[in-house]
Amino acid sequence: MNPVLTLTSDFGRKDPYLAALKGALYSTLKQPIIVDISHEIEPFHIAQAAFVIQNSYTHFPEGSVHMLCVDAAINPENQPLIAKLNKHYFVCPNNGILSLINPQFKPDEVFVIDHRDHPVNSFSSLSVYVQAAAHLMRGGAPNVIGKKIDELNVRMPFTPSVSNDKKTIVGKVIYVDNYENVITNISEKLFTDIGQQRPFTIHARNNEIKKIYHSYAEVIRFDIDKNKRVEGGKELALFNTLGLLELAIYKSNPRHTGGASSLFGLNYLDVVNIQFE
């Protein structure tokens, strides 16, 4: 399969920045396959961007090039990079985002892109990152346009803690999706290892949940006539496809009735804990 060029940024879609970036890519490459992963990353929110990339990039063909334009302004402490990780290429700033994408894997190779011939301005990614991505998409070697380095800026991922008596797991919200579902850093494996099938209570601010599902559909009683059962608005906890504890409101429209984030009062890095009996 042909490699794909993906784009992730905090540009949004109101301003001309995304169009300018894409225009430059189409002007540089001949019939590229460009896929937008997300341009709704909150401004400079590196951890949010890393979460989105971490859970999407492996679905693309090996050899794909992923441009990460979040907190991408070039300065002496934030140099533009090319990194090869898990048979994929990443063109991104050296701001710690690579260490968050997959903390278990160290990149095979990392190069600082030579940008001496490019103007460094408020939108430098338009020239530096575009040219680097185009070079890789043409099959070019990273060492032709960059200098290999051994050290990266590192950001430690947030990890849940467990009390000494193994009765409490304390986690944090690491992502809120478009439905206002709240995703925590508490994994199903940690829950199983610590819980040992004991009764439990999930505490999310003033809310308590005592059951965990494995799909949204499990919360509905399909053995009851559709006209008689209650569907929308049910709060639930489940282990999602990422294997992480998620809090949700079944079929709730965030724009009208609110989702789990607003109804539970939970935002990024807020605490969610599980207490076992």
pLDDT average, residue stretch 195-206 = 96
pLDDT at 221 over 80: no
Confidence category of residue 102, pLDDT binned at 50, 70, 90: confident
Residue-averaged pLDDT of the chain: 90
Closest CA to 133 of 265, 255, 250, 35: 35
The structural domain count of the chain equals 2
Give the single-character DSSP code of 168.
Answer: E
State the Cα–Cα distance between residues 249 and 130, nearest whole angstrom.
41
123/175 same-domain check: no
128/182 same-domain check: no
Task: Out of 64-68, 102-106, 176-180, pick the least confident.
Answer: 102-106
129/258 same-domain check: no
Q: Is residue 153 part of a domain?
A: no
Full residue range of the structural domain in which residue 252 is found: 161-276
pLDDT at 125 over 80: no
Confidence category of residue 223, pLDDT binned at 50, 70, 90: low
Q: Which of 118, 148, 178 is the last residue of a domain?
A: 148
Instruction: Give the pLDDT confidence score for residue 229 in this predicted structure.
Output: 59
CATH code, domain with 204: 2.40.30.90
pLDDT average, residue stretch 142-170 = 93
Confidence category of residue 224, pLDDT binned at 50, 70, 90: low
**Helix, strand, coil content of the chain in percent (nearest 5):** 20, 30, 50
Q: Is residue 41 part of a domain?
A: yes
pLDDT at 119 over 80: no
Place of tokens 């190069």: 111
Q: Is residue 154 part of a domain?
A: no
Which has the higher per-residue pLDDT, 126 or 225?
Answer: 126
Q: Is residue 250 part of a domain?
A: yes
Instruction: Give the pLDDT confidence score for residue 81 in this predicted structure.
Output: 96
Q: Which of 123, 148, 173 is the last residue of a domain?
A: 148
pLDDT tens digit sequence for 25-73: 999 999 999 999 999 999 999 999 999 999 999 999 999 999 999 999 8
Give the global pTM. Answer: 0.86
Q: Is residue 37 part of a domain?
A: yes
140/267 same-domain check: no
Instruction: Give the pLDDT confidence score for residue 235 in this predicted structure.
Output: 86
171/256 same-domain check: yes
41/142 same-domain check: yes
132/262 same-domain check: no
Q: Is residue 243 part of a domain?
A: yes
pLDDT tens digit sequence for 76-94: 889 999 999 999 999 999 9
Instruction: Give the pLDDT confidence score for residue 104 in this predicted structure.
Output: 80
CATH code, domain with 135: 3.40.50.10790
For CA atoms 29, 31, 37, 42, give the dihedral sign: positive
Confidence category of residue 151, pLDDT binned at 50, 70, 90: confident
98/168 same-domain check: no
Q: Is residue 174 part of a domain?
A: yes
Judging by DSSP bridges, how do beta strands 200-204 and 271-276 pair with one another? Answer: antiparallel
pLDDT average, residue stretch 146-170 = 93
pLDDT average, residue stretch 138-164 = 93
32/124 same-domain check: yes
128/253 same-domain check: no
178/111 same-domain check: no
116/51 same-domain check: yes
Q: Is residue 156 part of a domain?
A: no
Which percentage of the chain shows pLDDT scores above 70? 92
Task: Out of 122-131, 137-146, 159-168, 182-191, pick the least confident.
Answer: 122-131
Confidence category of residue 167, pLDDT binned at 50, 70, 90: very high
Q: Which of 127, 148, 169 is the last residue of a domain?
A: 148
**Residue 43 to residues 69, 102, 261, 272, Cα–Cα distance (Å):** 10, 21, 19, 25
Give the end-to-end CA distance of the chain in Å, rounded to a whole number.
Answer: 51
